[in-house]
Amino acid sequence: MGKRKFKAESKRLLELMINSIYSQREVFLRELISNASDAIDKIYYKALTDDTITFNQSDYYIKIKADKDSRTLKIIDTGIGMTEDELEKNLGTIAKSGSFNFKSENEIKDGHDIIGQFGVGFYAAFMVADEVTVISKALGSEQAFKWVSKGTDGYTIEPAEKESVGTEITLKIKNNTEDDNYDEYLEEYRLKEIIKKYSDFIRFPIKMDVTKSKKEDDSDEYVDYVEEETINSMVPIWKKNKSELTDEDYEIFYQEKRYGFDKPIKSIHLNVDGTIRYNAILFVPENRPFDYYSQDYEKGLELYSNGVLIMEKCADLVPDHFSFVKGLVDSEDLSLNISREMLQQDRQLTLIAKNIEKKIKTQLLSLQRDDREKYEKFFEAFGRQLKFGVYNEFGMHKDTLKDLLLFYSSKEKKLVTLAEYVSRMPEDQKYIYYATGDSIERIDKLPQTELVADKGYEILYFTEEIDEFAIRMLMNYDDKEFKSVSSHDLGIESEDEKKASEEETNENKELFAYMKEKLAGKVKEVRVSKRLRTHPVCLTADGEISIEMEKVINAMPDQHVTAEKVLEINPNHDVFLTLKDAYENDKEKLELYTNILFNQALLIEGLPVEDPVELTNNMCKIMVASS
Ligand code: ADP
Ligand code: MG
């Protein structure tokens, strides 16, 4: 029988495995055991619908056998087995395997990071073996087959002898080299350690012959004897007691389950025993999945009914605003044969989902309180989703989410909660102030913030597009309304001050009317500013739509809105005198000035100038005139 070649990707992955670094190698056993367990699961599922198959739990197990003399390690299972075709399809090409989908060349190059953390499947065997033999007999077949490979040069498949259904994998463990020790994978204690670490919650027994010693009767001598032992505790981690588990246990589970490449930033373990009974393990990932904010991202938790997986991604279990949460729910109260459609209306499920939402919120709040640094890291990754959550569905979830929000504070120079902001508000401050802009640095320099900052009030900086939309939906926090530093009435000026600026606007009515005419269609009004201290001009908006919102909405397809822009002039700035003077003596100059000031205000807002050539020409004209 001729040699068959691996598919291209498989070959590259194999090379990666063969050259893997030491600390990652031990996961080969996790991979082979998980395949064995999957194979037994498959028989279990078949038995559920096929009366000719009976499933006796005690007939199903995984056995690990090490033999130092022949340097072989065997992983034997009583699972569903593979036909000749399946050996070819499943082991000849990695592309078919669910565990490893290459997205790009880079991912393959970075593979060394992936190996340790993530499932790499069957080929992981080549990290420790220079030859792998798989003998398998599929359920319902008479004939067994043998697959053999020494690595990258290909594999052979031929008929073989095997009594019972299942798979037996034999690894020819590599010889030690100067730098690397492979003997350990033949050592009982080491194998036990690896199994405990990675595969403890596998539902089927993982058995191993373990050497023990005992005292012979009537003698002081110890003699060795061999006894078969089940190494794993078999109880799934979510059914264990929280007190038995360490952070590391959860991390290993997270990785074993392939919830992400990272570590969880928060692990939540729920054992709920009341009107609804369920166990759940939930994770908040540390990093945002690369596709998180794309259409491709699918939220959902795994759903188990008493230890048996019934749905891989049950979307109804987590609300959209917590769609970053990974994990599983196991409930005895759910029927195994429940259909997807029924599941959606299932009362138990709805209750569990409600309950889970509450727990996630509580846990996030306690993270916010107890480990702010971690919480900020979380917020950096998923804060945007929380803000979308406030905005979506007409603000239905805003009360759930408002205390989870963080915004940058002008005073604290860091992220703060709304509760913290409100607790610091001086007696006379009526509103929660915010300013919008592309970045903190940019907002720091915004002329519009001058008055509020001068007053000593804290300003929240909104740097994300969603911020202002979310806040408008929220409307107020703790009975305090939100107010943009650009809004017409800041609620700061005294009646006298208001009057004074109105008078000033009145006195210069004609000047402003003239300027407005020159800016035809671009501004709704030109007026005296109450908020500017040192800057000459700024742009604000009257009405519901802010300039920032106009930017965001107009960036969306088929959407168009216009903010009612107002050009505000600082009456205490020398430029105001210049304007007045030009109005009296040189209208042509006033037109130039108006154009330049308006464009200046646009630039400060981060808006594009409409006609850069005209603007720069105007600037030149002024330079020439004043020289
Ligand atoms: P994955 O487990 O993610 O599918 P693997 O590379 O680990 O990827 O395995 C590839 C495929 O080979 C499996 O999907 C399964 O069909 C088959 N396979 C591997 N090991 C066994 C086994 N012990 N018994 C039956 N089938 C197996
Ligand atoms: Mg696998």
pLDDT for the residue 21: 58
Q: What is the DSSP letter of 7?
A: P
Residue 294 reports pLDDT greater than 80: yes
The residue contributing the CA closest to ligand 1 atom 27 is 35
How far apart CA 56 and CA 65 sit, in angstroms, is 23
pLDDT for the residue 94: 55
Q: Tell me, in angstroms, the distance from the centre of ligand 1 to residue 461's CA.
A: 52
- Please tell me which residue, 195 or 256, carries the higher pLDDT value: 195
Same domain for 15 and 60? yes
Q: Which of 230, 256, 282 marks a domain boundary? A: 230
What CATH number is given to the structural domain containing 128?
3.30.565.10
* Residues 6 or more apart in contact with residue 172 via CB below 8 angstroms: 71, 72, 129, 130, 131, 132, 133
Q: Which residue is listed with tokens 């001009």?
A: 537
Q: Tell me, in angstroms, the distance from the centre of ligand 2 to residue 162's CA.
A: 23
Q: Which of 66-70, 149-153, 600-604 has the lowest mean pLDDT?
A: 149-153
How far apart CA 488 and CA 71 sit, in angstroms, is 82
The sign one gets for the Cα dihedral 280, 283, 289, 293 is positive
Residue pair 416/368 in contact (Cβ under 8 Å)? The answer is: no
Q: Which of 178, 195, 230 marks a domain boundary? A: 230
Q: What is the DSSP letter of 89?
A: I
In a domain, 490, yes or no: no
Q: Which of 376, 396, 425 marks a domain boundary? A: 376
Residue among 97, 100, 102, 170 to mutate when testing ligand 1 (max atoms within 8 A of CB): 97
What CATH number is given to the structural domain containing 456?
3.40.50.11260
Tell me, using a 6 A CB cutoff, whether residue 36 lines ligand 1: yes
**Could you say which ligand is closest to the alpha carbon of residue 37?**
1
pLDDT for the residue 473: 94
Residue among 6, 62, 122 to mutate when testing ligand 1 (max atoms within 8 A of CB): 122
Q: Tell me, in angstroms, the distance from the centre of ligand 1 to residue 90's CA.
A: 6
Same domain for 67 and 189? yes
Beta-sheet strands, E only, within 253-344: 264-273, 277-285, 301-305, 308-314, 326-330
Tell me, using a 6 A CB cutoff, whether residue 167 lines ligand 1: yes
How far apart CA 77 and CA 62 sit, in angstroms, is 5
Torsion (CA) 29, 33, 36, 41 in degrees, nearest 10: -160
Q: Tell me, in angstroms, the distance from the centre of ligand 1 to residue 282's CA.
A: 27
Same domain for 266 and 215? no
Q: How confident is the model at residue 11 (pLDDT cuts 50, 70, 90)?
A: confident
**Could you say which ligand is closest to the alpha carbon of residue 40?**
1
Q: Which of 267-281, 327-341, 348-362, 500-514 has the lowest mean pLDDT?
A: 327-341
pLDDT for the residue 107: 47
Q: Tell me, in angstroms, the distance from the centre of ligand 2 to residue 93's CA.
A: 13
Secondary structure of residue 287 in the 3-state scheme: coil
Tell me, using a 6 A CB cutoff, whether residue 35 lines ligand 1: yes
In a domain, 116, yes or no: yes
C-alpha closest to that of 424 among 456, 462, 472: 456
Q: Which of 110-114, 119-123, 586-590 has the lowest mean pLDDT?
A: 110-114
C-alpha closest to that of 338 among 297, 306, 370: 306
Neighbouring CB atoms inside 10 A of 60's CB total: 21
How far apart CA 136 and CA 524 sit, in angstroms, is 80
Q: Which of 155-159, 182-186, 311-315 has the lowest mean pLDDT?
A: 311-315
By DSSP bridging, strand 62-67 and strand 154-160 are unpaired
Secondary structure of residue 202 in the 3-state scheme: coil
Residue 626 reports pLDDT greater than 80: no
The sign one gets for the Cα dihedral 101, 107, 112, 117 is negative
Residue among 9, 38, 86 to mutate when testing ligand 1 (max atoms within 8 A of CB): 38
How far apart CA 237 and CA 239 sit, in angstroms, is 5
pLDDT for the residue 339: 56
By DSSP bridging, strand 308-314 and strand 326-330 are unpaired
**Could you say which ligand is closest to the alpha carbon of residue 17?**
1
Residue 117 reports pLDDT greater than 90: no
Residue pair 286/294 in contact (Cβ under 8 Å)? The answer is: no
Same domain for 127 and 46? yes
How far apart CA 491 and CA 457 sit, in angstroms, is 12
Neighbouring CB atoms inside 10 A of 591's CB total: 17
The residue contributing the CA closest to ligand 1 atom 3 is 99
In a domain, 392, yes or no: no
First-to-last C-alpha distance (Å) of the chain: 94
By DSSP bridging, strand 154-160 and strand 264-273 are unpaired
Percent pLDDT > 90 in the chain is 61
**Could you say which ligand is closest to the alpha carbon of residue 101?**
1
Section 427-434 average pLDDT: 95
Which ranges of 519-561 does DSSP label H, i.e. alpha helix? 547-554
The mean pLDDT value of the chain amounts to 88
In a domain, 51, yes or no: yes
Residue 361 reports pLDDT greater than 90: yes
Q: Tell me, in angstroms, the distance from the centre of ligand 1 to residue 124's CA.
A: 12
What CATH number is given to the structural domain containing 533?
1.20.120.790
pLDDT digit string, tens, across residues 270-286: 999 888 899 999 999 99
pLDDT digit string, tens, across residues 48-104: 888 888 878 888 999 999 999 999 999 999 999 999 999 998 887 653 343 444 444
Q: Tell me, in angstroms, the distance from the centre of ligand 1 to residue 338's CA.
A: 27
The residue contributing the CA closest to ligand 1 atom 7 is 121
Tell me, using a 6 A CB cutoff, whether residue 199 lines ligand 1: no
Give the atom of ligand 1 at the shortest distance from the alpha carbon of 80.
Answer: 25
* Residues 6 or more apart in contact with residue 420 via CB below 8 angstroms: 412
Q: How confident is the model at residue 613 (pLDDT cuts 50, 70, 90)?
A: very high
Q: Tell me, in angstroms, the distance from the centre of ligand 1 to residue 149's CA.
A: 16
Same domain for 311 and 452? no
Residue 30 reports pLDDT greater than 90: no
Of 18-32, 100-114, 592-606, where does the model show the most confidence? 592-606
pLDDT for the residue 335: 62
pLDDT for the residue 436: 93
pLDDT digit string, tens, across residues 496-553: 888 888 898 899 999 999 999 999 999 999 999 988 889 999 999 998 889 888 888 8
Of 27-31, 339-343, 404-408, 519-523, where does the model show the most confidence? 404-408
Tell me, using a 6 A CB cutoff, whether residue 90 lines ligand 1: yes
Tell me, using a 6 A CB cutoff, whether residue 39 lines ligand 1: yes
The sign one gets for the Cα dihedral 136, 141, 144, 149 is negative
Q: Which of 96-105, 452-461, 470-479 has the lowest mean pLDDT?
A: 96-105
Tell me, using a 6 A CB cutoff, whether residue 14 lines ligand 1: no
- Please tell me which residue, 499 or 173, carries the higher pLDDT value: 173
pTM of the model: 0.69
| Residue 462 amino acid letter | F
Write out the residues surrounding ion ligand 2, Cβ under 5 A.
35, 121
C-alpha closest to that of 626 among 599, 601, 587, 593: 593
Same domain for 18 and 142? yes
Same domain for 51 and 164? yes
The residue contributing the CA closest to ligand 1 atom 20 is 35
Torsion (CA) 123, 129, 135, 138 in degrees, nearest 10: -20
Residue 114 reports pLDDT greater than 50: no
In a domain, 535, yes or no: yes
The residue contributing the CA closest to ligand 1 atom 16 is 90
* Residues 6 or more apart in contact with residue 80 via CB below 8 angstroms: 39, 40, 42, 43, 46, 138, 139, 165, 166
In a domain, 427, yes or no: yes
Which string of b and e fits 237-259 if b means at least 16 CB within 10 Å?
bbebeeeebeeebbbbbbbbbeb
Residue pair 189/210 in contact (Cβ under 8 Å)? The answer is: no
Q: Tell me, in angstroms, the distance from the centre of ligand 2 to residue 97's CA.
A: 8
Tell me, using a 6 A CB cutoff, whether residue 31 lines ligand 1: yes
Which ranges of 50-205 does DSSP label H, i.e. alpha helix? 84-86, 92, 105-109, 111-117, 188-199
Section 37-58 average pLDDT: 86
How far apart CA 319 and CA 329 sit, in angstroms, is 14
Residue pair 445/534 in contact (Cβ under 8 Å)? The answer is: no
Same domain for 435 and 463? yes
Q: Which of 100-109, 166-175, 543-552 has the lowest mean pLDDT?
A: 100-109
C-alpha closest to that of 408 among 399, 395, 421: 421
By DSSP bridging, strand 277-285 and strand 144-151 are unpaired
Domain tally, the chain: 4
pLDDT for the residue 104: 43
What CATH number is given to the structural domain containing 333?
3.30.230.80
Same domain for 426 and 528? no
Give the atom of ligand 1 at the shortest distance from the alpha carbon of 98.
Answer: 3
In a domain, 383, yes or no: no
C-alpha closest to that of 575 among 517, 515, 620: 515
C-alpha closest to that of 145 among 65, 81, 74, 75: 81
Secondary structure of residue 258 in the 3-state scheme: coil
Q: Which residue is listed with tokens 């090490």?
A: 66
Same domain for 421 and 549? no
Phi-psi region of 69 (alpha: psi -120 to 50; beta: other; left: phi over 0): alpha
Residue 53's domain comprises 11-230
Residue 177 reports pLDDT greater than 80: yes
- Please tell me which residue, 251 or 488, carries the higher pLDDT value: 251
By DSSP bridging, strand 407-409 and strand 415-416 are antiparallel
In a domain, 6, yes or no: no
C-alpha closest to that of 252 among 194, 189, 207: 194
pLDDT for the residue 53: 82
Tell me, using a 6 A CB cutoff, whether residue 79 lines ligand 1: yes
Same domain for 339 and 443? no
3-state SS, 114-154, equals HHHHCCCCHHHHHHCEEEEEEEEECCCCCCEEEEEEEECCE
pLDDT for the residue 341: 55
Residue among 62, 90, 256 to mutate when testing ligand 1 (max atoms within 8 A of CB): 90
How far apart CA 505 and CA 451 sit, in angstroms, is 18
C-alpha closest to that of 278 among 233, 316, 317: 317
Q: Which of 140-144, 179-183, 264-268 has the lowest mean pLDDT?
A: 179-183
How far apart CA 528 and CA 493 sit, in angstroms, is 14
Residue among 13, 14, 35, 165 to mutate when testing ligand 1 (max atoms within 8 A of CB): 35
Tell me, using a 6 A CB cutoff, whether residue 122 lines ligand 1: yes
Q: Tell me, in angstroms, the distance from the centre of ligand 1 to residue 49's CA.
A: 22
Same domain for 203 and 156? yes
Tell me, using a 6 A CB cutoff, whether residue 97 lines ligand 1: yes
**Could you say which ligand is closest to the alpha carbon of residue 98?**
1
